[in-house]
Structure 1
Amino acid sequence: MMDGSMMGWAWVWPVLLLIGLALLGYLVFRLAQSRGSAGAAPGGGTRSEGSPGTRSSAQQILDERYARGEIDEAEYRRRRDELA
């Protein structure tokens, strides 16, 4: 039997259940969103190697390596010319 002091906590379980369901729904949404954007380019559009105005992933990697100092300018220019 429940006495009067325990009846005040009866609302906690439904609230916790709703919070848990909301978190679960949010996680499912984020997972679906991340799987849907796996082929998207960092700029937000989908990656297309041949379309003008977009860089290939190889060019992007080359730019990043040069920016980090992994390759010098001569190597960067030589590889960039090979990609073009």
Structure 2
Amino acid sequence: MIAVLGGQAIGWMWVWPAPVVAGLLIIGFATVNLTRGGRESSHIGAGAGTAARRIRDECYARGEIYEQVRRRRRSVLP
């Protein structure tokens, strides 16, 4: 039997925690995914290094930089 207080059923007071718990789960899931995404973003930097090497080699092939400059840049960016 549900007790009535002021025209409202007291049994409904147990319903409101469900959206709160769902919201906390969503926030937790988003936090975990953003944290993992931060670690995965380090792979983007590795791709940038590959692009930099490609550009360096293209500049050398076009004769825009000398072998000595290419070697110095290679020591900085393997």
Structure 1 length normalisation: TM-score?
Answer: 0.48
1:47-62 alignment, distance < 5 Å? 47-48=48-49, 49-52=52-55
Q: If you compute each CA radius of gyration, which structure gives the higher value, 1 or 2?
A: 2
Using the TM superposition, give the Cα deviation of residue 38 of structure 1 relative to its aligned residue in structure 2, in angstroms: 1.9
Using the TM superposition, give the Cα deviation of residue 22 of structure 1 relative to its aligned residue in structure 2, in angstroms: 0.6
- Percent identity of the aligned residues? 8
| 5+ residue gaps, structure 1 | 54-80
Select the structure that is richer in strand.
Answer: 2
Using the TM superposition, give the Cα deviation of residue 28 of structure 1 relative to its aligned residue in structure 2, in angstroms: 0.5
Corresponding residue for residue 9 of structure 1: 13
Deviations 1:6-51 (A, max 9, x none): 222221111111111111000011111111002424xxx8221412
Alignment size in residue pairs: 53
- C-alpha separation in 2, matches of 1:51 and 1:37: 21
Structure 2 length normalisation: TM-score?
Answer: 0.51
RMSD: 2.8
Q: Name which structure has the greater RCO, CA cutoff 8 Å, separation 6+.
A: 2
